[in-house]
Structure 1
Amino acid sequence: MSTEILDNQTSLYDRWHSGERKLQDLLQVRESVKNNSSIFRPYLTTQMQDFVPGLNYFFIGTLDEQGRPWVSFLTGRKGFMSSPHIRLLEIETRLEGGGGEGAGRHYKAAAADQSLAPPDPLFHNLTKGETLSGGQRKWGGVALDFTNRRRNKMNGVLMPDDILTVNQATGELHVLLTVEQTIGNCPKYITIREIDSSEPQDTPETESQTGASTSQVLDEYSQRPLFKGLTPEQTAIVDQADCLFIASRFIDESIADQTSGMDCNHRGGNPGFARVNGNQIVFPDYSGNRFFNTLGNIMNDERVGLLFVNFSAGDTLQVTGRARILIGKDAQEVYPHAQRVVQVAIEDSILRVGSLPFRMRTKELSPYNPVAPSHQQRGIDKGAIPVAATLSEILVHTDNIRTFRFKTSKPIRYSPGQYAVLDFGAFNTVGYRHMAPDNPQSLNDDYIRTWTISSAPLGLSSLKDAKYSSPDTWNEASEFELTIKRKPGGAISNLLHNLSLDPKHPFTVPLICTGGSFVLPDPETPLKPSKVTRISGGIGSTPFLSMIRGARQALTDYPVDIQWILSATFLDDALPAALKELSAPVEGDVGSLTDKHRPSVSVTLFLTGHHTPEEASAVVARVALIPIAKVKFGRVDHKKLLATVPDLDERQVLLCGPEPFMDAVKTHLEVLRIPSRQILTEEFNF
């Protein structure tokens, strides 16, 4: 029967299962998607039948005898998968060294690693996994071509008579999978990568390559190591991943034609979008088609399987556990800025080092990937009393840099250098869109923004045993300032820069929290920070403005020397008015401070923009009016760093700015052999 005839016979009734309906209702999308279940077909389309033979890999979810999902990475030469019938998917391969084009070069190395790796649970699950009526086993898979982001999802059953060869010892696999449901998925969040045909590098054998999962203590029932938490090697695979594959399941007796099923699908983002938190893995659920197949399954059955891959090393990490869905503030408590989060409590894991017969190179991350929040940025305090922040003053520095002063509805505490998180959700008028080629990242924009506070609290609340890093050390504040650069296309930075103060209609937004660990070093440490060098690029100077403003209000028992190297395009970008403010005497300083000291501050400006001789002379004249500053023209490099701060190796170094700038400065510091323990950086990516 042709797929065209079947298309005409596809039922249009609402067949979402109970978990999907529950989540769609919860997120108020039920009416808009309830008739879209007809998009799912009970067969492989002609395009899908033509698609699968051209792949070297396939991702499949299966169930063990406890009903726990696992995800496996199947590989083979092109043609190892085929579709002899619109309701059948045939897989025939040998997993050790099957590979694709160029994979033969990897065969020897992969086979050697495979001999050390624990077996893939797929072999066990296909023959001994959970069975349903008639001995059939459920499966879910996703066919994905990384070279062009094409993705097709499918699921169905494996009949007992269709297990032709499943040999764990040899890796041989030959099965006929009956297809019950398919759908084509969009290319969002998929990284473009290609098979690397070069020789893999030999890697030294480690304990993780000896076949152990996470422990050497065996469970007599399953003869598998008892799970005792992810190892550092396993955690590292999660940390580097820009994608994961998740298998989930459901059972719903209310659906007459399908009472149970599985799903396996791809989730992607920037590297580090998934995080290990103790015995849990958490990752955001980004904006998609709003069908919520995976999340709907979790609402029905919390058991899931995850697969993480290190494509450059050929390592895989398989995890099974129980998932929870967190929404709104519950999500943001564990993952900043996320609208929804999947939180998986891990029950078991398998690390398979070098198990893939080929390696893959990353070519392009998806333009739809949201920026992963900094690891220094913690989630919100869900129990905190809401604070309203009302805009009270706007100070214009340049056409694209302004300082915004906010008054708070109740006093707040923060340390100099910390950030503020504000909720501009009330100004989100974009609405839902599935795809947005003109502005891909807007699809996940929750209008929550984080900026470093450029002001500082007015003094210390206690001088005894003061810890500058603790907000409790500083006096409460009823206002704070944010110095913000207009971002081309930025929804909120442009909103703020276009504002005019209107006393009749005050601009007020919720202040979610303050936080961050990039703060003034504590005065009493084993190595007193009596010499500090701060290096910033562009708008990355804002935490240093706050730190120096705070430091000038504090007194120490010893002199503190702060050398600030500030790189900017032009002088106005370096906020000369603020630098001049830091040159003024501290209010209240009269005569000698006895044994107490204020910090001494000097600033060296590196201006990278093009200046004519006349313009350079005018800049030098303006900088001469700032007693603590001097100016140089050109970019910072290791020679200029050393010339500016000859005793740099004796100093604590604080570094902040855009990522390319920080990477360059880190390289210069490495050339100068500045120990990493002396360098503190701000992750300026949120």
Structure 2
Amino acid sequence: MKRLQPSQFHQAERAVQKRLGVADMVAQHSEGYIRSTMPDQHRDFFTNLPMLIVSITDFDGFPWPIPLHGKPGFIKSPNANTLEIEAYPTLKDVLKLNFKKSQKIGILGIELHTRRRNRMNGTIEEINNNSFSVICEQSFGNCPQYIQKRELHWVETPQKCLQTEDIFLTNTLTSTSAEWIESSDTFFISSRTKRLSTDKRDGLDVSHRGGKPGFVKVENDTLYFPDFSGNKFFNTLGNIQSDSRVGLYFPDYESGKIVLISGTAKIIWDKEITRIFEGAERIISVKVRNCLILDSFLPVRGVLTELSPSLIRTGTWENPQEKSAARVYKQFKIIKKIKESRDVTSFYIRPLDGSALSTYLPGQFLPISIKQPHTSSTCLRTYTLSQAPLSNAYRFSVKREKFGLASRILHDTINTGDSLYVSQPEGNFTLQSNKKTNVFLSAGIGITPMIAMLQGLIQEVEKGEKPQDVYFIHSTQSSETHTFANELKHLNKRHKWLQLYTIYSQPKLNDKLGQHYDVSGRISLDLLRKILPTGNFDVYLCGSESFMRSSYTNLKAMDIAESRIFYEFFDDSSFESHQLNKFQTAQRAEIYFAKSNITATWTPNDGTLLQFAEKMGLKPMYSCRTGNCGTCSCTLSTGEVTYANKPGYTPINGSALICCARPALNTTKLTFHI
């Protein structure tokens, strides 16, 4: 009777193979793939390399991929079981590496200009002053897929030691490093089995990952990258299934900079998620635990000569059309960029393909996808269209926020001639009637929908409509921050039915009362009583939350009916949201995020379901946070939700807008596919 041979793969590798339906195929065709000794071809390969990547654990058990360099010949193989390496992990003390005799180690030899790579895993046999040796436990080759061709050359002699006094680990990535990682086309990943025993299948691995620039995405402290089609052995994925601790190494061969990361990995099996990335069969996330950034560390430099042909059918995280199922985006060109005030700039855009603009109602907003410089990531934002419809261009106006990523990109990076991806205009903050007096009450950047509505009324008057009085009341700090000041003065001179009132809270010395502004201070109840007309009129409110709540209270004190007050917040606030009580929402509900396998208890203090998901460490998509755009819509399979206000966007049956939804009264459990 023939004795059954033990598998060459450890239990978690076999579990992944079985899950993906390839276990039988792998068992049939992988015999002899993993050897206990190195073939001569591999031995010759290693001894001619100028670099190795080795995987070594720190004292907390996290594996780190460490680059080692030397002139060809710094690696020797005295026999088929041994590699002798005349190099030393100079970052040993900084990373607190458990670099000791008999410890497990993973080795990857890679030749970038030929795309050849081979691996050897084993144990450390001896450690000397500047060298160490490794006894082979597993030896196997790898295919050349996804390796970018580079020609390397030396810039200095290999480093024998490193001054580490000023080097320290951090637990977050800087924005600069995150952007650089997102532009990378290559990194290396170290992984491990949970058990590190004498079983040769247990140990450390180090593997190469390559993609088009932009194949890695960084969101806060988490990295995401695709798992492309490979040899189906799933060494790295099997290790992650066994033990989530991993390490990443991002080299920049042009500058010599490196980024080293340790963290915990998770395999995202969801097919719906992989559809957003062409060629991805799975997505891997890595939550950063520690990172080390070193400039000019590498003793070699190199230039990219060719991306891997295997990348033809792979994508990046960049395509905005695949980022929001709720919208279709098309490319627009910026034809004009005008500074309106100290902090506000207007952008005039038209379709790149020359097609006609979609019509819209004054007051609506424009969904925009903005590419982050030097990365493949995009930000989805919504900006109010700040002029009435014209045939040749859209105009939207943006305030530069000190900590606002998208606004800083638009102000500081985007210029005339550049392009953006833009979707159809949306929103329900629009004029209700042109047959009565309208009051536009705004502060700061809240002026944008108001001037669009005013222009819309002017267009109707120019078409023959009877003009109705408009009271345009705007508050800002001073003439420096007064957006559209000259435009409004010009319109005020042309139209007698337009009553313009400007309030400066902090006028400058050269701001003249009666010329630049009408009142100093803030919009108070007494001021509104002096300014506002009597009779039947509608009020439109837009500005900061504090301004909105104060103005709303003042209008109510004047006995103006709620039905005559229309408003738009710039976040998920509402006048009703602070009045939500036990008769409208649940007092307690269990929320199950199915795709993330997270269950937690929601209470009213947790806010909207989007805010709650973010507290749980999740990153659902969103844009407006007001229920107007639909970006946050996700499947709800159990339970019911309620909204403080009727959303402007109507989700399909079985979905909810989590940016403004809360568990409904009598709902005890909700299941979201997040």
| TM-score, length basis structure 2 | 0.50
- State which structure, 1 or 2, has the greater radius of gyration over its C-alpha atoms: 2
| TM-score, length basis structure 1 | 0.49
RCO greater where, 1 or 2, for CA within 8 Å and sep 6 or more? 1
